[in-house]
A = this chain, B = another copy of it.
């Protein structure tokens, strides 16, 4: 199979950008990636952009052309990909496949979301668009409510504890405190988690990733084209899978089957096993999801994810660093931007120049981006050398 590299990465600061619009954020992330790659923008042949719900957040569909235009990329093909919070990992995968197809050599994959400008409804209502409208929204479930159900099931079946959930958020904030792009760059304590408001029992505010504005972009290149650039990092495996939107249609509430299937695809393509992964950026939209990810990616036995966290194996220089840059919890979660942000962070770790955030061992990294309550999962494995 052809080799494809990531040759440039960019990310805006994540946070509440009252002075920047969706187009500003998209353009800024793209420009940062172009600058990072030291690329002539005219060499970019196609764009894929992940966005979950700009139609509801800022009344703007058709972000594909808007972003291409604002970035000076006209008239290249530009396509928006959407699968809720997994939107930009899918944009990345499509960019990857488009290069494998032989149609392009240099492609930008981006993600953007502007969540704080919403009018006429709440961001929580818009986010519920990721779940099943007819079966879940109609009965009053909220998005955090869905994950609360998954949390309860996991606690009941495997004895996962309140403290273990708290430790997920604490670890992410410990890392994110050093991340200059993070929305909430400070540490939190167990007491703060326990005193934070209950959102959907047992999930408290500090179990939840925030509402965020932000954008991210990476530039992909074919092996031939990548030779001209300084810092290629290679795509070793890509996997994507789907599950039922509605929880009641799933075979289990204590695992995300889409993660397992997508991970299997990516591991097989890469010729790797979970133990070969040096570190991972995973989708901690709610604390339980990081525990599910650790298990479903095969980093530990099913049911022992809480213990894995408790033993601090996930610490930035622990046995298996998880979210060494702060995760969705601390960095923020502009839903459509997160997948590419994760990949950009993996790339930077693999380059070995992430400063205070650098993990010790960084030859092989993995990114897991999840859509909705697990109905979409995308897993990418990247390597310093392929």
Contact = CB atoms under 8 A, between A and B. Distances in A.
Interface of A: 1, 21, 23, 52-53, 55-56, 58-62, 64-66, 68-69, 73-84, 90, 93-94, 97-98, 100-103, 120, 126, 128-134, 137, 240-245, 249, 257-258, 261-262, 371-372, 375-376
Contact of A100 (B60, B84, B102): B102
A261 B64 CA distance: 16
Contacts of A126: 55
Contacts of A261: 75
16 contacts: A21-B134, A53-B61, A55-B129, A59-B128, A62-B129, A62-B371, A66-B375, A68-B242, A69-B242, A75-B241, A75-B261, A77-B93, A79-B94, A80-B83, A94-B94, A98-B101
A66 B245 contact: yes
Nearest to A257: B75
Contacts of A61: 52-53, 82, 84, 129-130
A371 B242 contact: no
Q: Quick one: which of A62, A80, A94 has the most chain B CB within 10 A?
A: A62
A263 B243 CA distance: 37
Nearest to A1: B102
A78 B69 contact: no
Nearest to A130: B62
A98 B244 CA distance: 23
Given A55-B126, A77-B240, A94-B94, 4 more contacts: A58-B133, A65-B371, A69-B245, A79-B90
A83 B75 contact: no
B64 A376 contact: yes
Contacts of A79: 81-83, 90, 93-94, 240
Contacts of A62: 82-84, 129-131, 245, 371-372, 375-376
A371 B90 CA distance: 21
B243 A65 contact: yes
B375 A69 contact: yes
Contacts of A103: 97, 100
- Lowest 7 CB-CB distances: which A-B pairs, in order? A77-B240, A100-B101, A65-B375, A61-B129, A97-B101, A62-B84, A101-B101
Contacts of A80: 81-83
A97 B76 CA distance: 16
Contacts of A66: 132, 245, 375
